[in-house]
Amino acid sequence: MTISDFPRVHIATDHAGMELSAHLVSHLSAKGYEVLDHGPKVYDALDDYPSFCINAALAVVADQEAGTRALGIVLGGSGNGEQIAANKVKGVRAALAWNLSTAQLAREHNDANVVAVGGRQHSVEEATEIIEAFLTEPFSNDERHVRRIGKIATYERTGEVID
């Protein structure tokens, strides 16, 4: 991969993922990614993660709509709430990844554009491997996956459920 092959990465967390987030910003930047940190900037055990995660997800969609390759990372204790928040943004397909296979399949089959990882569920090394797997796995463009994603997008736009 050349530097131009790397997508821009938007990252957000809650207090439980701050150590992992700081590591990822440094690690991914050193690998050539342009990493944009959507917060929080300071530790607060009572923070509310939705705004951070929604802003990162909005930035991913805005970049993609502008023709910029972009992916997102949202982190928390479990990653569940952060995934839910990101998935409220129109155009986001956020996937909770808990191992290499789920990270790769999220990209390969679902063309997920945001990955959620639980910072309290993995070592820093394991979480980094999961996220790198997500960032480097291409979408297959297999017709069945394109069709299924299209049905989800239609529902998101129109509220129509297509059989």
Q: How far apart are the C-alpha atoms of 123 and 128, rounded to whole Å?
A: 8
**For residue 138, pLDDT beyond 60:** yes
Active site residue 27: no
Active site residue 129: no
**For residue 3, pLDDT beyond 70:** no
Q: Per DSSP, what are the bridge partners of residue 70?
A: 8
What's the pLDDT tens digit per position in 63-98?
Answer: 999 999 999 999 999 999 999 999 999 999 999 999
Q: What is the mean pLDDT of residues 135-139?
A: 97
What's the pLDDT tens digit per position in 122-131?
Answer: 999 999 999 9
What's the pLDDT tens digit per position in 4-17?
Answer: 578 899 999 999 99
pLDDT of the residue at 67: 96
pLDDT of the residue at 94: 98
- Hey, CA dihedral for 12, 73, 132, 102, is it positive or negative? positive
Given 109, 126, 137, 145, which residue is catalytic? 109
Given 10, 38, 82, 122, which residue is catalytic? 82
Give the Å distances, CA to CA, from 92 to 41, 45, 46, 64, 107: 24, 27, 26, 10, 12
The pLDDT mean for the chain works out to 95
pLDDT of the residue at 5: 72
